Chains A and B, each alone.
Chain A
Amino acid sequence: EDKVVQSPLSLVVHEGDTVTLNCSYEVTNFRSLLWYKQEKKAPTFLFMLTSSGIEKKSGRLSSILDKKELFSILNITATQTGDSAVYLCATPLYQGGSEKLVFGKGTKLTVNP
């Protein structure tokens, strides 16, 4: 069965801490892994990873994929209260001529001042 598992499910840290969020996956014909940040409304796209070992970086956020061990991590350094959100990872599953995203349940990150 195709699935995406995220850990931890929730995390509480203080401003300035560094956090690592985990995402493991099992999917037929893997092509990419995506990270999203969801605050109160729409998930916003962060990264799409297709190749192992190549880090993607945007400001204090970075992510890397390990296709051998079937996981990805999302790192956030020097966390701020604005980083508080649910972080979702997902991988596309292709069937019937189209694709759907299979999502994990998310990691709820709370950054306290």
Chain B
Amino acid sequence: SQTIHQWPATLVQPVGSPLSLECTVEGTSNPNLYWYRQAAGRGLQLLFYSVGIGQISSEVPQNLSASRPQDRQFILSSKKLLLSDSGFYLCAWSGDSGFNQPQHFGDGTRLSIL
């Protein structure tokens, strides 16, 4: 069966520090991968999605970036964190065999910027 792993679960970082969040998927190949952010009291906002290695699409302008160095690995990064980057970050995957498949989420990373 397919599983998705995200780490770390929680992270406290100072303003201006770098960030690297990692997500890996097991039990499937060539998944579609997604990074979402969930701010307090708001819905999930899509940040990035990827349909294959090295293919990244960005939804919103920001100081975050994403990379997909391997088929089942998706990384969210920042060179310098801002206070507004605080939130709950979720990675998700869906199958690549056509659209209209549900996305499945990792357990998320709760990021606090001080």
Give residues of chain B (12-50) contacting chain A, Cβ–Cβ below 8 Å: 32, 34, 41-44, 46, 49
Give residues of chain B (64-110) contacting chain A, Cβ–Cβ below 8 Å: 90, 94, 99-100, 102-108
With A42-B90, A94-B99 as known contacts, state yes or no: A100 contacts B46, CB within 8 Å.
yes
- Partner of B102 from A42, A48, A88, A103 at Cβ < 8 Å: A48
Tell me if B49 and A97 are in contact (CB < 8 A): no
Contact residue range for chain A?
Answer: 20 to 34
With A98-B32, A98-B57, A100-B49 as known contacts, state yes or no: A42 contacts B107, CB within 8 Å.
yes
Find chain B residues with CB under 8 A from A90 CB.
Answer: 44
Q: Does A69 contact B (CB under 8 A)?
A: no
Tell me if A105 and B99 are in contact (CB < 8 A): no
Q: Does A53 contact B (CB under 8 A)?
A: no
Tell me if B51 and A98 are in contact (CB < 8 A): yes
Tell me if A100 and B108 are in contact (CB < 8 A): no
A100 to B57, CA, bound (A): 11
A99 to B31, CA, bound (A): 12
Smallest distance from the beta carbon of B65 to chain A beta carbons, Å?
18
A99 to B59, CA, bound (A): 11
Find chain A residues with CB under 8 A from B49 CB.
Answer: 98-100
Q: Does A34 contact B (CB under 8 A)?
A: yes
Find chain B residues with CB under 8 A from A31 CB.
Answer: 99-100
- Partner of B43 from A34, A99, A106 at Cβ < 8 Å: A106
Tell me if B44 and A88 are in contact (CB < 8 A): yes
Q: Could you list 20 further interchain pairs (A-B, Cβ under 8 angstroms) beyond the known A4-B43, A99-B94?
A: A41-B107, A41-B108, A42-B108, A43-B44, A43-B90, A44-B105, A45-B104, A50-B100, A88-B43, A88-B44, A94-B99, A98-B49, A98-B51, A98-B57, A99-B32, A100-B49, A101-B46, A101-B103, A104-B43, A105-B43
The 9 closest A-B pairs by CB, nearest first: A42-B105, A103-B43, A41-B107, A103-B44, A105-B43, A100-B46, A45-B102, A42-B107, A43-B105
Query: Which residues in B have some Cβ–Cβ distance to A below 8 Å?
Result: 32, 34, 41-44, 46, 49, 51, 57, 59, 90, 94, 99-100, 102-108
